[in-house]
Structure 1
Amino acid sequence: MTSPTGEIYRIDWLPGTDVLHGTCHCGREHTAQDPVEMWEWMLAHPQGHDVDEPRGNSS
């Protein structure tokens, strides 16, 4: 999904599981089983992003 400001939010479903893997436009990553939890985490940027979560790469 691309926001009106051009930021890209990506959510992938991990096949064979009920797990969603999200990557915020800032590079932070998060996994969750609940799609609502995932969107709340992304849209809370940067307040929803814990400092100890790993940053993803842009590839």
Structure 2
Amino acid sequence: MTSPTGEVYRIDWLPGTDLLHGTCHCGREHTSQDPIEMWEWMLAHPQGHEPQGHEPRGTSS
């Protein structure tokens, strides 16, 4: 799924299991058996964190 701002959210089924594996646009990952719980995590997750590799502002030389 791609958000209106172009961020990509990915949920994959792990073959041979009942597990779903989600990856946020920031690189954080989550695994769940419940698709509803996975989408709730995915849609709520971006609040309050920065994408991986992001440096806080004001730290440049």
Q: The TM-score by the shorter chain falls in which range?
A: 0.7 to 0.9
Q: CA RMSD in A?
A: 2.1
Instruction: Please list every run of at least 4 consecutive aligned residues from structure 1 whose deviation after the TM superposition is greater than 6 angstroms.
Output: none
Partner Cα distance (1:27, 1:43) in 2: 14
* Residue aligned with 1:21, SS: strand
Aligned equivalent of 1:43: 43
Deviation at residue 48 of structure 1 after TM alignment = 8.6
After superposition, the Cα gap between the structure-2 partners of 1:38 and 1:29, relative to the gap in structure 1 and judged at 3 Å, is same
Given that residues 24 and 46 in structure 2 are in contact (C-alpha distance below 8 angstroms), is that contact kept between their aligned partners in structure 1?
no
Q: Deviations over 1:11-38 (max 9, x none)?
A: 0000010000000011100000011100
Structure with max Cα Rg: 2
- Number of residue pairs matched by the alignment: 50
TM-score (normalizing by structure 1): 0.75
Give unpaired runs (5+ residues) of structure 2: 53-61
Question: Runs of 5+ in structure 1 lacking a partner?
Answer: 50-54
Percent of aligned pairs sharing the same letter: 90
**Partner of 1:23 in structure 2?**
23
Bigger relative contact order, structure 1 or 2, given CA contacts below 8 A and separation 6+? 1
Q: Does 1:8 align with 2:8?
A: yes
